[in-house]
Amino acid sequence: MSLNSGRFVYSTINLNDPEPLANRTATILGWVITFLIISWICVLLRFYVRFRVVRAPGWDDLCVGLYLTFYVENATYCSSAAFIKLALLLQYLRIFDRGTSMYKITLGVTIFTALWGIAYSVIAWVPCVPVSDYWDLYSDGKRCYGYGSHTPYSFVATYESHSAFNMALDTIVFIIPIPLLFKDGVTTAARLRLVALLSMGCIVLALAAWRLQTMIANQVATYPTRDPTWYGPISIILAALELNAASICASVPIFWPVFTQNWSGIFVTQEVKITRESRYNEEDRDSLTRGSYHSRVGSDTELSIVESTSGKKNQHYRDSYILRQVDPLRMPDDRDQPSARAGDPKDQSRKWTKF
């Protein structure tokens, strides 16, 4: 790249350079395909838990889905990077209570990340006007900018500024959940899981920093000569690994509790059978045994939760807690049904039944 003429320099200066490890086919396919498969597995397990198990999908799941879509179509790295960060931030909004300082901070970072993603995605999707000038070898580049700029300074600055903002936002997303480690009532097991998640976040930060370093070192594959196929593979590999690692971080906390619960059930070695002997008469019958007219009952019993059937058919979906989990950005609505909490006196009479 020539700083004096302001034009890209093409030469054969690197023809005798040893082939970098990142340029080898085995390296590219091995790392990218492996992480991509792991990422897809984690995201699909996340969707399974959210849609089939807890049945409470939210905006964060939509962002993860959009990340996968753009990644598969190879449309742009900018959109994928923005969507995966938004997925994590929207996930945080489901954790923090409304009105708290952490909720407000997370909401502010979410808005900034969305604006950052829109700005750079527009530059990436429309690098020239018309877009066909981007791949037109005979274009003079006068109507190209950002990622399509024919000016080395503008071209390099666009890539490096996006990478710098990307790493800064990764750091902020990494820091936001740290206060949960010191929250009262958090169990040691929960802290260990959070530490494991933060450790995975450190890997994402390391990949982002490494990618930025490679881009600065070769000036986005333009120094000492413009040769994207020679200097670019390392940055492209790191970008793919960073996005895949981030999607794994966003998905593991969703499906892991369900996975461990089902996994432990596979190795049940003992089964306990409980037989209850109780004695009642009509004078001391309570709400739990109301309807029984036998003076003595001796049977194998089991307890099961009975949901209230009063109200509308879809009353569950107007529950304020459910709505708050699905859409953390929604405002309170008078039509919302109050959340039922275990231990409420009015709920005790119909919470459990015996049959």
DSSP collapsed to 3 states, the chain: CCCCCCCCCCCCCCCCCCCCHHHCHHHHHHHHHHHHHHHHHHHHHHHHHHHHHCCCCCHHHHHHHHHHHHHHHCCCHHHHHHHHHHHHHHHHHCCCCCCCHHHHHHHHHHHHHHHHHHHHHHHHHCCECCHHHHCCCCCCCCCECHHHCCCHHHHHHHHHHHHHHHHHHHHHHHHCCHHHHHCCCCCHHHHHHHHHHHHHHHHHHHHHHHHHHHHHHCCCCCCCCCCHHHHCHHHHHHHHHHHHHHHHHHHHHHHHHHHHHHHHHHCCCCCCCCEEEEECCHHHCCCCCCCCCCCEEEEECCEEECCCCCCCCCHHHHEHHHHHHHCCCCCCCCCCECCCCCCCHHHHHHHEEEC
Task: Identify the weakest region by mean pLDDT among 176-180, 253-257, 258-262.
Answer: 258-262
Residue ranges making up the domain that contains 79: 21-266
**307 has a pLDDT exceeding 50:** no
Choose one of 266, 290, 315: the last residue of a domain. Answer: 266
What pLDDT is attached to residue 179? 85
pLDDT of residue 301: 42
Residues forming a β-bridge with 298 = 277
Q: Output the pLDDT for position 241.
A: 92
Q: Indicate whether 304 and 254 sit together in one domain.
A: no
**Is there a domain that residue 8 lies in?**
no
**Per-residue pLDDT at 287 exceeds 70:** no
The residue among 266, 294, 325 that closes a domain is 266
In a domain, 4, yes or no: no
pLDDT of residue 119 exceeding 90: yes
Q: What is the CATH number of the domain that holds 90?
A: 1.20.1070
Question: Based on the domain organization, do 54 and 163 belong to the same domain?
Answer: yes
* Of 144 and 311, more confident: 144
- Of 50-59, 73-82, 260-269, 278-287, the one with minimum mean pLDDT is 278-287
Average of pLDDT values for 318-324?
Answer: 56
Q: What is the pLDDT of residue 55?
A: 84
Q: Average the pLDDT over each of 14-23, 125-134, 292-301 and give the range with the smallest value.
A: 292-301
Q: Are residues 44 and 191 in the same domain?
A: yes
Is 80 exceeded by the pLDDT of residue 164? yes
pLDDT at residue number 166? 94
**Looking at residue 323, what is its pLDDT?**
55
User: Using alpha carbons only, what angle is made at residue 87 by residues 83 and 93, rounded to the nearest 5 degrees?
Assistant: 140
Supply the mean pLDDT for the chain: 76
Structure tokens at 262: 């089902």
Together in a domain, 346 and 200:
no
Flag whether pLDDT at 108 surpasses 90. Answer: yes
Average pLDDT score over residue span 55-77:
73
Across residues 159-172, what is the average pLDDT?
Answer: 94
Least trusted range by pLDDT, from 6-10, 225-229, 284-288: 284-288
Residue 285 has pLDDT above 70, yes or no: no
Angle in degrees, 0-180, between the axes of helices 233-266 and 59-73, rounded to the nearest 10 = 130
165 with 191, same domain?
yes
pLDDT of residue 291: 44
Q: Is 77 a member of any domain?
A: yes
Same-domain check for residues 283 and 166: no
311 pLDDT tier (thresholds 50, 70, 90): very low
Q: How many distinct structural domains can be found in the chain? A: 2
Band of residue 305 on the pLDDT scale cut at 50, 70, 90: very low
Least confident of 71-80, 112-121, 231-240: 71-80
Give a yes or no: residue 5 inside a domain.
Answer: no
> Does one domain contain both 245 and 294?
no
In this predicted structure, the answer to whether residue 37 has a pLDDT above a threshold of 90 is yes
pLDDT of 203 > 50? The answer is yes
Which residue is associated with the tokens 């194998």?
300
What is the rounded average pLDDT of the residues 113-137?
A: 90
Mean pLDDT within 308-329:
51
User: Residues near 347 by Cβ (< 8 Å), separated by ≥ 6?
Assistant: 340, 341
What single letter denotes the amino acid at residue 177?
P
Comparison of pLDDT for 264 and 288, the residue scoring more: 264
User: Are 299 and 162 within one domain?
Assistant: no
| Backbone dihedral angles phi then psi of residue 318, each to the nearest 5 degrees | -100, 0
Q: Are 133 and 281 part of one and the same domain?
A: no
pLDDT at site 269:
47
Predicted pLDDT at 193 = 76
More confident residue, 224 or 326: 224
Q: How confident is the model at residue 49 (pLDDT cuts 50, 70, 90)?
A: confident
pTM for this structure? 0.68
pLDDT above 90 (res 344):
no
